[in-house]
Amino acid sequence: MTTASDKNVAALNTVLGETFRLYVQTHGYHWNVEGPKFRQLHVTFEEQYQNLWGALDEIAERIRTQGTYAPGSVAELMALAGPEDVSAQTADEMIVRLIAGHEALAAVLRDAIATSSDAGDEVSAGMLTDRLEWHEKELWMMKAATR
């Protein structure tokens, strides 16, 4: 039988894996973006990957506070994430794919917030809510830039 605490750790692990996947994708786009929107997107992608990098540490440390080990290898992290996205070739493709990536992670976060709340882990629920707020703001800005 899986306890609420086990489900909570599993949800945190999934958030960690999905965050890692989006971090790698965003950092790759930062390296490879080009075109008329280069400077703006290069800076935006850098801000995003730096935020995601910091989140990885916060999420992993939260997993440790639950008395379990955080995934510690690329293979473990990617096994927890959804399928890796095909690399985008244009700036517009990059934005579209990052919007999809942030939307997917936002959905994972919503589920994880509910799971943490059900487990009575208000600290994790609060941290995850803060992450969701950041992703929703990034989504708004990226979507607004495509109009």
The domain that contains 18 carries what CATH number? 1.20.1260.10
d(CA 91, CA 103): 18
Using the structure block, give the residue that is written with the tokens 């600290």.
Answer: 123
Angle between helices 122-145 and 91-118 (to 10 degrees): 160
Residue 93 domain boundaries = 4-145
- Distances from the Cα of 145 to the Cα of 4, 11, 96, angstroms: 40, 31, 11
Whether pTM > 0.75 for this model: the answer is: yes
How sure is the predictor about 81, in pLDDT bands with cuts at 50, 70 and 90?
confident
Weakest mean pLDDT among 18-22, 30-34, 52-56, 84-88: 84-88
The total domain count for the chain is: 1
